[in-house]
């Protein structure tokens, strides 16, 4: 099946499982050729995710107007050196995982006058391979919630990854814990969780943004 058929099949599934408050589906196009992105845009896909800022620039900068023809998300761990490249193209960042990155993001976006919405990455699995804040660190940040957003840099919510084991029960536990954190400490915040292998669990646990690559585009080349 083609890219837009896969996308539509998942959208239909999401709408049938959750007709009210259906999460936003981000088509993760990392490592996929530009032709597939063009095909997806022609088929009505709006939200895309790239994990390498430069790859996203190469693919998307002449595909139309950001925020109008497509909305581009930077997903995965963010390094400070990425941030100066966001202006003019990226609308969302999923994976702000350190104080240093957070400060640089605010400084740059306010300087560039380019609006970005970001997710704090929360790492509950404590796997060394995953970056992000611990739950305690996030609670610390939320104590000064007003400092977390500025004119051009806006806290959208929390992002997490399921455990590498892929175990469904473990995955659900992690997603549920983030959902509870949101409910208790930042009810207006959104949740970015769920990938090809675990998006149904994420949906059940209240995710607002699903980041799905393989199930839409096929295996990465
Ligand atoms: C690659 C990636 C995805 C998509 O993964 P799939 O398993 O292909 O759906 C989602 N989120 C992040 C952070 C990624 O790096």
Please, which pLDDT band fits residue 220 given cuts at 50, 70 and 90? confident
The predicted pLDDT at position 190 comes to: 98
Regarding the beta carbon of 194 and ligand 1, being less than 6 Å apart is answered: no
Regarding the beta carbon of 195 and ligand 1, being less than 6 Å apart is answered: yes
The predicted pLDDT at position 25 comes to: 98
Output the DSSP codes for 133-196: B-HHHHHHHHTTGGGG--SSEEEEEEE----TT--HHHHHHHHHHHHHHHHHH-TT-EEE---T
> Mean pLDDT, to the nearest integer, of 155-177?
95
The predicted pLDDT at position 4 comes to: 92
Q: What is the pLDDT of residues 76-134, one digit of tens each?
A: 889 899 999 999 999 999 999 999 999 999 999 999 999 999 999 999 877 766 689 99
Type and span of the H or E element at 54: helix 53-60
The best mutation among 76, 96, 163, 209 to test binding of ligand 1, ranked by most ligand atoms within 8 Å of the C-beta, falls on: 76
Nearest-angstrom CA–CA distance, 108 and 152:
9
Q: Where are the domains of the chain?
A: 3-217
Regarding the beta carbon of 214 and ligand 1, being less than 6 Å apart is answered: yes
Regarding the beta carbon of 28 and ligand 1, being less than 6 Å apart is answered: yes
Query: What's the token pair of residue 121?
Result: 């990455």
Spatial contact of 155 and 118, defined as CB atoms under 8 Å apart: yes
> Strand, coil or helix: what is 96?
strand
> Mean pLDDT, to the nearest integer, of 61-88?
95
Q: What is the pLDDT of residues 17-56, one digit of tens each?
A: 999 999 999 999 999 999 999 999 999 999 999 999 999 9
Cα dist from 147 to 98, 104, 144, whole Å: 15, 14, 6
The predicted pLDDT at position 221 comes to: 74
Nearest-angstrom CA–CA distance, 142 and 175:
19
The predicted pLDDT at position 115 comes to: 98
Per CATH, domain 3-217 is 3.90.226.10: no
User: How far away, in angstroms, is 196 Cα from ligand 1 center?
Assistant: 7
Please tell me the number of Cα atoms within 13 Å of 99 on its side-chain side: 7
The predicted pLDDT at position 128 comes to: 67
């Amino acid at each position: 099946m083609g890219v837009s058929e896969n996308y539509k099949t998942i959208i239909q599934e999401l709408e049938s499982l959750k007709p009210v408050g259906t999460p936003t589906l981000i088509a993760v196009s990392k490592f996929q050729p530009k032709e597939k992105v063009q095909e997806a845009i022609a088929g009505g896909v709006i939200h895309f995710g790239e994990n390498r800022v430069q790859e996203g620039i190469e693919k998307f900068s002449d595909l139309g107007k950001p925020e109008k023809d497509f909305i581009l998300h930077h997903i995965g761990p963010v390094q400070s050196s990425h941030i100066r490249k966001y202006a003019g193209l990226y609308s969302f960042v999923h994976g702000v995982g350190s104080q240093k990155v957070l400060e640089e993001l605010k400084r740059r976006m306010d300087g560039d006058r380019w609006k970005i919405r970001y997710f704090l990455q929360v790492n509950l699995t404590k796997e060394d391979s995953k970056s992000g804040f611990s739950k305690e660190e996030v609670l610390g940040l939320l104590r000064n919630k007003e400092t977390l957003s500025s004119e051009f840099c806006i806290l959208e919510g929390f992002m997490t990854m399921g455990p590498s084991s892929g175990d469904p029960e473990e995955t659900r536990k992690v997603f549920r814990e983030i959902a509870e954190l949101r409910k208790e400490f930042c009810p207006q915040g959104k949740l970015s969780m769920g990938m090809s292998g675990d998006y149904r669990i994420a949906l059940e646990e209240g995710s607002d943004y699903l980041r799905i690559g393989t199930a839409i585009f096929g295996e990465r080349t």
